[in-house]
Chains A and B, each alone.
Chain A
Amino acid sequence: MDEILNDIDRWRSAGQRVAVARVVDIEGSGPRDPGAAMAVNEEGEVAGSVSGGCVEGAVVGEALELLGGRRDPGITTFGYSDDEAFAVGLTCGGTIHLFVEELNW
């Protein structure tokens, strides 16, 4: 969270709404530990990261859906799966669970 605070402050003081995605759990190997976070503003600007760059693009999509009212806050999972349920995966083969919410607290 530490490394994204300055961007969040800048966006909020400019009147932007902000979504935050945080790693809450990892299975197998994951590049970032629980607590790693990225923030996305309404214009799709990004701060921080939740993986080694594997899923950030998809997270921006989820964040914009949330800010646009097209999805609820909640858990989003990325990772390898036998049934290929996940369109976006981690090259390391792990699975990460993110909690996506608006920063309105």
Chain B
Amino acid sequence: MTSIYEEFRDAIRAEEPVALATIIEGPDAGAGSDVRPHPGAASDVRPHPGAASDVRPYPGAKLLVRPDAPTLGTLGDPDLDRVVERDALGMLDAGISEVRHYGQHGEARQMDLSVFVECHARRPHMVIFGAVDFTRALASQAKLLGYRVTVCDAREVFATKRRFPMADEVVVDWPNRLLDRIGADLGPRDAVCVLTHDHKFDVPAIVGALPTRVGYLGAMGSRTTHEKRTERLREAGVTDSELERVMAPIGLDIGGRTPEETAVSIVAEIIAAHTGRQAPRLRDGQGRIH
């Protein structure tokens, strides 16, 4: 039988999402400033599966949570396991590793137990529509930040692996058709960047991305271009609140000009969107971009 460590290790190596929850404090340490564990907590006593009733939560107890495979181990209480499993799946979705506090049976707003959840989320995914020069720089920048990068353009002369060797995937298709296939997999850590500069492609890309859970949706173009694009999006049935989600003009207001500088401004905006910082966005400003 493989151990929790081996399952954890193998999932990390296979880049499969996995979260490892460990009780790091409790059950008697309480909520005070005492950072020492409860003495006598024996880390080598592994709860036997099925014998959870006579095991209490102790520091070092582990629960291994995976979205696509059964949960392994126990924190020493079935209700606690259930609550932490649910929370760990949410944290995995958001890519957060942190300490959470629970009661001994998983009660919220209690501090009996501190549980560290270490998340190894799948790599975030950036989908770039438009196989243009800016795409090359943005794809390279996104790779540097650990994204899996898909470049998509309906024009097969532009969308070639040879032009975008850094991309994980180059797809010749219409944006809406690609999003029909992969949209359900996009989540809060993922990004869709629309760089086509052409309403014919921009509009289906944005319309296709809006129903997904993607965390960042940006579209390139001058303010004038975006005004015209907005009209067409409205005609396509996009509401005001949906338009609020679109970062356009794309990027932070750092005066970037070249494809490489623009790529920095885009990924910086994505970082700021995740951290909730008020970096100056081009969308919120006025006047010329350059």
Q: Which A residues are closer than 8 A to B by beta carbons?
A: 1-2, 5, 8-9, 22, 24-25, 33-35, 72-77, 97, 99, 101-105
Contact = CB atoms under 8 A, between A and B. Distances in A.
Nearest to A24: B116
B59 A25 contact: no
A77 to B, nearest CB: 5
11 contacts: A24-B99, A25-B98, A34-B97, A34-B116, A35-B118, A35-B119, A76-B35, A99-B22, A105-B3, A105-B60, A105-B62
Nearest to B35: A75
Contacts of B98: 24-25, 34
Interface in B14-37: 22, 24-25, 35-37
Interface in B104-132: 116, 118-120
Given A73-B60, A102-B44, A105-B5, 10 more contacts: A22-B116, A34-B97, A35-B118, A72-B36, A72-B37, A74-B59, A75-B37, A105-B3, A105-B4, A105-B60
Given A5-B13, A75-B35, A35 B41 contact: no
A33 B37 contact: no
B116 A99 contact: yes
A103 B118 CA distance: 15
Nearest to A97: B35
A5 B73 CA distance: 20
A33 B97 contact: yes
Contacts of B8: 1
A79 B74 CA distance: 32
Contacts of B62: 105
B39 interface: yes
B39 A72 contact: yes
A73 to B, nearest CB: 5
A34 B118 contact: yes
Given A73-B37, A73-B60, A101 B43 contact: yes
B281 to A, nearest CB: 25
Nearest to B39: A72
B9 interface: yes
B36 A75 contact: yes
Contacts of A34: 97-99, 116, 118
The winner among B3, B25, B97 for most chain A CB atoms within 10 A is B97
A82 to B, nearest CB: 14
A5 B4 contact: no
A72 B44 CA distance: 11
